[in-house]
Amino acid sequence: MTDPLLDAALAARAHAFAPYSKFQVGAAIEDSSGRIHTGCNVENATYGLTICAERVAVFKAISEGARKFRRVAVAADTDVLTPPCGACRQILWEFCGDVEIVLVNPRGKIETYWLRDLFPKPFDASYL
């Protein structure tokens, strides 16, 4: 790859802790200053305590002081590229808004979406 965000997501995938599903996912999020924050999925034997790569990346970015974001990349080794799950879409909407989402696999296949297209009617503070 030649895009640092995609390279970071693919590299983060190697750190995934997925002994149960064997489904390794990496994510990278670019903040408004250009810094890249990464995450990988971390599984738990109870499954319900598993956390996805996208949420790890968002939470790491927030914990490091980032508050505005440009793009998110999600990397998985699938032929049909893997979008964020529903819980991750909600977290991404809450913290990133209508951000660009780039899906990638290790063989260089890439698809780009806007979060609004993957999550057309999100719940947010406007409903509170």
**Which of the following is catalytic: 43, 54, 100, 111?**
54
* Euclidean distance between CA atoms 48 and 10, whole angstroms: 25
Give which of 34, 109, 16 is closest to 71, Cα–Cα: 34
In the structure encoding, which two tokens stand for residue 3, read together?
Answer: 């895009």
What is the distance in angstroms between the CA of the first residue and the CA of the last residue of the chain? 42
Is 54 an active-site residue?
yes
Active site residues: 54
